[in-house]
Amino acid sequence: MSRLQSPTSKNRRFWLAVSAGIVFAGALPAGASQITERWGASSTAEYAATPRNISVLDNYPTYNDQSQLLFGENNGAHKWALIYFSTANLPTNTVVYSARLKLSVYSYSDQWDGSEPVRQISDPNGLGLWSQTEATFGNRRSGVKWSLSGNGDLNTALGRELDSAYMYYVPQWHTLWREWDVTEAVKDWVATPTSNQGLALPYIANALYKAARHDDADASIRPILEITYEGANPNRPAQPTNVTASHRSGQTFITWEEIASSNPEVSYRVYRHTAAITSGNIGQATLLADVPTSSSYYKREVEMCEGGSDCSPTGQTRFIIEDDGTELAAGTGLFVYTVQNQSSGNYHYAVTSVVEGNENRDDFGGNTDGPINEIKATPRPVRVWTSPTNNGWVYTQFMDYHNWNYHFEGYAYNFYVGVPSSYSATGAPVGVAMMLHAWGGSYGSYWAGGDGSSYWHGGVLVTPDDRTKTWWFGFNEYTGNIEKRFADGRVIDYTHQRLDAILEFVLSELNVDPDRVQIHGGSMGGSGSVNYGLRRGDRFSAVYSESAMTDFATSGDAGGTDWVGDVIDTWGTLAQDLSTNLGVTIWQWYNLQDWVQQNRAAELPWLSDHHGKADDVIDWDTQGVQWSPALETGRRPFASEFDNTDHGCACIRAVSPDVDIFGVTFRRDESIPAMTNASSSQDPATQYGCRNCAIEWSASWHNFAGAPVDTATRYEMVFRTTGGTATVNITPRRLQSFIVQAGASYQWTNQPVGGGSESSGVVVADADALILVPGFSVTSTGNRLVLVPLSGSLPAPSVTKIEPATGPTTGGTGVTITGTNFLSGATVTIGGTAATDLQVVNKTAITAKTGTVTTAGAVDVVVTNPDAKSGTLAGGFTYTSAPAGVRGDANGDSAVTVSDVFFLINYLFAGGMAPSTSCGGDANGDGSATVSDVFFLINYLFAGGGAPGVC
């Protein structure tokens, strides 16, 4: 059959999915030609191969079944499948690179989570080939045992196990192609033709499968032995044409025109190399991917729109790879390569065609491109759609193919970004609200067609996509990969990685305030908001969550919807409790009720939360009633409302007066309070109402008595009730400067804002360095909490690192000192010499420049706070002797170039590092480094001026 004809069975489409995961068993040579051909009675085979295949039973040793090719167990019968292909047409002693047994397999059993091995049959005593009509488990032919050892049955003639195929993805009453690597057996057969005794698929317990036979009525599904070996390839397929590679933002986009073929077994291999790729060096090139045909078709956008017309505003069918560009044409192939850490530089690309396993590795011309200059960088998504009002956009993000499970949902995703009509690229920065959609939703459903930010006035709206329902976390690294055992894989936070990349892009692309970033969602979106948002305390200022899953494993235990079944194919079962890439199991990760209590030292965003007690979708009894108590035990800043609504409640509401959800005003860089045991709160177990909704605090975004005072030695915050008097326990969270050390004592004072008698007390910070002010009385007129450390209780600073750790004795080296408990007004000495240009950035970082010393060597770095307490990093910095150097060589690279000009400018005008030697910056020899030396170097380098003198 011609390789470009269309086969008669749709089952063969599975080969493309399988081939994408194949690693060649033999190394492919640098210059030798190779060919891939097929043996068997299949309509796709080049050689008939006189095939034989039968079933035998190990517990009925005289049984021979020529009508079916069965392996497994059936009513206690242990069935083995025996398969033979003549390889007489394979040149003797040829070099075999790979060989694969391909069988179309039908399952009679429930899905079996196991692998079927294939073993080589041997003839240790030269008894000859087994008979199709006479072979049984006991004899290879009538009256002839399999061997002369033991009882002589088939077990005594079995050779090594060659490979195994994972069978889980062959569900009951379904058919799927499965493959086994039999390269080592075929190598033996080439070296010694009489050793070809075929292959055996042994009995397996509790499962039964049937493989299509060599005489199946459908010739396209008959067994195949596919061999890749050294030799001329006269029937090689045509190559793709017009291969083009373009690089930007850390990614290279490779496109090509696909070959004309209706054969479903067409794919394309993308190669990368440091030299132009030819038939002589393709074996040295890196195979990046085996890409199926029609790879520019955007299946996720076209076929996965459960939400209907609001699924996506783009109407996209194929990928767009240029900002505001057009879709790739039909018949265009696409692969996007993300540059890895070690591989920046100039690279060449080639794309080859593969038809029915046969790759064209001989013809190169229009299927290559390069050199392409590539740089490791953060990938920038492609803008593929702009709203009619020009304030909403859809982007496609291409994730890193080589660090992604592309089998499940590909590696490209769209997301939406919208700005309010008042947005200005040069005006005041605005806040950001990331909205996570619910189960069955999509990123497109939040574009309202007018104001690009929809509900969120004054802020940027960002809506990602999770149509495959990963519950905004991720999925197993082997989901969708039919060659891998699901239970052996980890659950990877792929969706979190996408969200991280989207936020990084928005923060760098738009005029936004990084300290005003919120995340919102309801149901599945609310679950994602708390599980992603709360764990990103370094990113988000606030989280709003409606009907969130807070302990996924228990969903449905109280009679509501059991959502565990929704994620078995992506996360696994409760019993499996698979590991994640984050050091915990998936069910541990999605148990926020435990996490917020066990990680008390972690700083979280503010949380506004709502659950309905009549909700039986995200049920109250397992996900809601325990949530507020868990948050209070963990001393979390939150307000939580609970009422008698069901899951259909549109309950996006600001449950605390401080939280303007729609204005996106909440700030990350300002302390917030965790309130517990408030007398004005209701009990979620027995009442309807709210926790922490009747007490508010004065903040920069809700200013009724000033923003919090948050210095190293003093903390103040004003509280008031929405009516009446209440008592509450208060823990300051997200401290910016105030230093709290475990075991230290602090005095608190309650100062009524309207005047009146004060109250005070002393508290000791706990092991997590948290302060709890108990029973703080709050009135509607306001009460100021003041916290100060008791005299002598402030901890001494500690110094853990200085970067860089070396510099010349001439001084001027810019350094960053890292440690703890640094106070405003601290001083630094390095080797006993005071550092200059010192700035206390915060309580853990100081920047400064080294002073001048006379002696080289390792010296101590000492930080001293205003209270005279100090911390030392012994031998932390090493002064190096200043070499004679080259005059004008400001950067110390032993040459005078334009780099020294920029180095001097940076030193003189931007606070950069000092010249490396005493004369490095003194190009004109006048004894000092000034702007005159900059002009001297420019004149020398570009205008033929005199050269710098000798140091």
Q: What is the domain range of residue 551?
A: 383-669
Is residue 696, in this structure, part of any structural domain at all?
no
- Predicted pLDDT at 650: 66
Q: Nearest to residue 258, comparing CAs of 269, 272, 245?
A: 269
What share of residues in the chain are helix, strand, coil (percent, to 5)?
15, 35, 50
Is residue 929, in this structure, part of any structural domain at all?
yes
Question: Among residues 201, 230, 259, which one ends one of the domains?
Answer: 230
State CA 231 to chain mean position distance.
42
Is residue 118, in this structure, part of any structural domain at all?
yes
**How far apart, in Å, are the Cα atoms of 620 and each of 551, 613, 655?**
11, 5, 18
- Classify residue 47 by its DSSP letter: B
Radius of gyration of the chain (CA): 35
Task: Point out which residues pair with 430 in neighbouring strands.
Answer: 512
Pair 838, 875 in one domain: yes
- Predicted pLDDT at 657: 64
- Predicted pLDDT at 14: 40
Pair 109, 224 in one domain: yes
CB neighbours of 197 closer than 8 A, spacing ≥ 6? 84, 120, 121, 122, 123, 129, 130, 157
Contact by Cβ (8 Å): 702, 494: no
Domain count, the chain: 6
Pair 887, 876 in one domain: no
Characterize the bridge pairing of strands 542-546 and 512-522.
Answer: parallel
Whichever domain contains 899, its CATH number is 1.10.1330.10
- Predicted pLDDT at 211: 97
Position of tokens 């001293």? 864
Question: Among residues 859, 880, 901, which one ends one of the domains?
Answer: 880
Question: Among residues 377, 404, 419, which one ends one of the domains?
Answer: 377
Taking the chain (951 residues) in runs of 10, the rounded mean pLDDT of each run is 37 40 42 88 93 94 93 94 95 93 96 94 97 96 96 96 95 96 97 96 96 96 97 94 97 98 95 96 96 94 67 88 97 97 85 97 95 95 92 95 96 94 91 93 67 70 93 96 94 98 97 96 95 95 95 94 94 97 97 97 95 94 97 97 87 64 87 98 96 95 95 96 97 95 95 93 96 98 97 88 93 94 92 95 93 94 92 96 74 81 84 76 84 86 79 68
- Predicted pLDDT at 898: 84
Q: What's the rounded Cα separation, in Å, for the pair 471 and 494?
A: 11
CA atoms within 13 A on the CB side of 887: 17
Pair 332, 431 in one domain: no
Pair 863, 934 in one domain: no
Q: What's the rounded Cα separation, in Å, for the pair 101 and 226?
A: 6
Pair 410, 553 in one domain: yes
Is residue 21, in this structure, part of any structural domain at all?
no
Pair 247, 359 in one domain: yes
Contact by Cβ (8 Å): 155, 188: no
Whichever domain contains 486, its CATH number is 3.40.50.1820
Pair 396, 484 in one domain: yes
Is residue 14, in this structure, part of any structural domain at all?
no
Is residue 64, in this structure, part of any structural domain at all?
yes
Whichever domain contains 845, its CATH number is 2.60.40.10
- Two tokens, residue 777: 């009385």
State which amino acid sits at residue 787. L
Is residue 22, in this structure, part of any structural domain at all?
no
Is residue 23, in this structure, part of any structural domain at all?
no
Pair 194, 79 in one domain: yes
Give 85-152 as a DSSP string: ---TTSPTTPPEEEEEEEEEEEE-SS---SEEEEEEE--TT---PPPTTT--SSEEETTEES-SSTT-
Pair 470, 531 in one domain: yes
- Predicted pLDDT at 420: 87
Pair 663, 721 in one domain: no
Pair 583, 634 in one domain: yes
Peptide bond into 371 cis (omega under 30): yes
**Residue 477 region by backbone torsions, left for phi larger than 0, else alpha for psi between -120 and 50, else beta:** alpha
- Predicted pLDDT at 21: 41
State which amino acid sits at residue 478. Y
State which amino acid sits at residue 395. Y
Q: What's the rounded Cα separation, in Å, for the pair 97 and 165?
A: 20
Indicate the pTM of the whole model.
0.84
